[in-house]
Structure 1
Amino acid sequence: MIEGIIWAIMAGLMLGLYALPEKYAKDFEFENTWGLFFAINTFLIPNIAAFGLIDGFSEVLAAIPMSVLIGMGVSSFLWGIGVMMWGKAINHIGLSLGFSIFIGTIILVGSLIPFMVGGLPDTQVFITILAGIAVVLIGVVTNGRAGILRQKDEEGEQKKGSMSTGIMIAVIGGLLATGFSYANTVGGAVIHEACQQAGNPEWVSAIAVMYIIYIFGGIAIAAYFSWQLTAKKLWGRFRTPSFGRNTLLATIMGIFNFAASAAFAYAAFKLGNNGGTVGYAIFNTVSVAVAIVSGLITKEWVNASFKAKGSLYLGLACMIVGIVIVAVGNGLS
């Protein structure tokens, strides 16, 4: 169990840090930077990792039952749509609130999906894990409040219509993004068995699972950014002396992001029967905490009020306590 928790924490650390290189991109608009990142992240890196590290990967894919592949493909495509909706929600309600609602929905629903698919554990284990998730959600909500307090002076009051629309988009996007958890739960064991039969070490199955999730999710993401780049006439912005530098930064982001997801899949496997729930909760919670701490280090909160910082620290404390409770609940099984 300890090994699985360590892998889940490492996954969360990488996910929380992966976007930092984006701050150093030059001469790109948002759509250029993230469009390039997602192209590398969802198509290039998964293919290099899967075909370069998995022996007989073509045979592994052929061994996956069509029903499992379809289930993973559809849910992964929905995950891609959910990620894009999160980006739209930020336009309405800001990064802090949008991030909190989106991740809060993912943690709540995504952590429960493995129970829905594989059945409930013992009552004591189930209640303890749920209690931990509840404490995590309190922390996420508290962090969202901190973000609202910080944004209030910087951006002014949001219009009611914009706020309600943004919240709705963030919640729906979070629900769709839980397709990531469903795909991992449905395909994890089957793909692990296929990789083992092909003579691969057990950790390799995590790459195979993420390959399917990222490729199908990438289809939705590629369609969105192609539309945005065309509508805003931004394709020409790729012609810049900084293209090489920006490509390197996007590649670093992609490696961290894909490695984080693969580490989560391996953590879920090592955590046993409740690994999908426990690993998912730890993975997302740590990523949020790391993102917030990195914001503190880069002085994003330097001008925030004492009230906003107090809410932020309380939220972080709740999240840490929550994942400890979740880990204890898994240990009871």
Structure 2
Amino acid sequence: MIIGFLWVLFAAILLGFYAFPSKYVKGYDVENTWGVFWLLAMFIVPVLASILLVNGLMDTYAQVPTSIYVSIFFLSLLWGIGNLLWGISISKIGMALGFSLLIGVGTLVGSVLPFFMGNIEQLATPGGMIIVFGILIIMVGIILNGKAGLLREANESSSSGTTNKNMKMGIIMCVVGGICAAGFNLSYHVADSIGHIGDISQNQYANSPWIARLAVMLPSFIGSGVITVFYFAYQLSKGKTWVKFAVPSSPKNIVLIGLMAIVYVTSLIIYGLGAYSLGALGTSVGFAVFQTGCIMVANILGLFSGEWSQAGDKSKRFLYSGLSVMSLGILVIAFGNYMMS
């Protein structure tokens, strides 16, 4: 169990760092950077890695019912829609509130629903109830963290630049996006716990657990990739920014974006390994820890990089309180999972 938690926390750290190279991308508009990123992260990197590393990949998939792939594709489509809705909503409500809403709603939906997808009997056990209680504690911490972000934005800017209508629409889009983004965890749960892709890959074709996670994850990338890549292709055509790929810095940019995609995909695969190591409720326990760890890492990095230097004491108190409460929630979840092990 401890190893599983460490894997999940490591995955959260990687996810917190993956976008850092984008600071050094020059000459690209948003749609250039993120269009290339999603193409690499959803298709090229996972497909190449799976083909090169996974033994018996297609033979494994041939043993899984078509209905499983239909479910995975639909859930991964939701994941892609969630990513896009969040990206649009932060322009209306700001990064702090948008990030907290997306992570909060996604954590709640993505952690609780796996109980109802083959593990409902464990919900009523003492360990299961403690895990749910821990998830609720984490939600309180995320709310405190969101409040800290709102106070920070208020201190750093005298006017928000958004109307009430934009704010309401942005909040609605972000909440819906958070629900949809949980499709990633649910698609993984269907592939591994219901479709047993990981078990087949490990037991029949002698793949190690982390390589078997590639086989589990690959179908989950397809639907999300279809949504995100087509959206950014549309934005590139609409803004006539395809020509930006011809800038002199483009080769360096592609390398940086490729690094982002590798780190992003690696973080998801390591999360899958951690969820597998945590046992039957790994997708409930692991996802809560993964999402919470990500938001904690992002804020801690922000503290060290000076992002909160002008936030004000009240904002920092909410931030520290939120981080402390989320840490407590992780400990409670760990205890609940220990009781069920």
Q: Same fold (TM over 0.5)?
A: yes
Shift of 1:302: 1.5
**Whole-Å Cα distance in 2 between the matches of residues 187 and 210 of structure 1?**
8
SS in 2 for 1:273: coil
Aligned to 2:184: 180
Unaligned runs of 5+ in 1: none
- Cα shift readout 1:142-181 (whole Å, capped 9, x = no counterpart): 1111111111244423321111101100010111111111
Is 1:212 aligned to residue 216 of structure 2?
no
**Whole-Å Cα distance in 1 between the matches of residues 49 and 65 of structure 2?**
22
Could you tell me the percent identity over the aligned residues? 37
Aligned to 2:163: 159
Is 1:299 aligned to residue 306 of structure 2?
yes
Aligned to 1:269: 276
SS in 2 for 1:118: coil
Shift of 1:22: 1.0
Aligned to 1:35: 35
**Whole-Å Cα distance in 2 between the matches of residues 205 and 285 of structure 1?**
25
The answer (yes or no) to whether the contact 2:130–2:336 under 8 Å persists in 1 is yes
* TM-score relative to the length of structure 1: 0.97
The answer (yes or no) to whether the contact 1:46–1:215 under 8 Å persists in 2 is no
One-letter identity of the residue aligned with 2:315: A
Aligned to 1:11: 11
Is 1:169 aligned to residue 169 of structure 2?
no
List aligned pairs for 1:39-118, cutoff 5 A.
Answer: 39-118=39-118
One-letter identity of the residue aligned with 2:84: M
**Whole-Å Cα distance in 1 between the matches of residues 238 and 306 of structure 2?**
34
Is 1:232 aligned to residue 236 of structure 2?
no
**Whole-Å Cα distance in 2 between the matches of residues 309 and 250 of structure 1?**
32
Is 1:194 aligned to residue 200 of structure 2?
yes
Number of residue equivalences = 333
Is 1:135 aligned to residue 155 of structure 2?
no
Deviates more, 1:200-209 or 1:89-98: 200-209
Aligned to 2:330: 323
**Whole-Å Cα distance in 2 between the matches of residues 309 and 62 of structure 1?**
53
- Cα shift readout 1:301-329 (whole Å, capped 9, x = no counterpart): 12111111111111111111111111111
The answer (yes or no) to whether the contact 2:119–2:281 under 8 Å persists in 1 is no
* TM-score relative to the length of structure 2: 0.95
Unaligned runs of 5+ in 2: none
Deviates more, 1:318-327 or 1:194-203: 194-203
- Cα shift readout 1:103-135 (whole Å, capped 9, x = no counterpart): 100110100111010123143112211111111
Aligned to 2:287: 280
One-letter identity of the residue aligned with 2:328: V
One-letter identity of the residue aligned with 1:213: S
Shift of 1:195: 0.5
SS in 2 for 1:12: helix
One-letter identity of the residue aligned with 2:118: G
Shift of 1:215: 2.0
Aligned to 1:260: 267
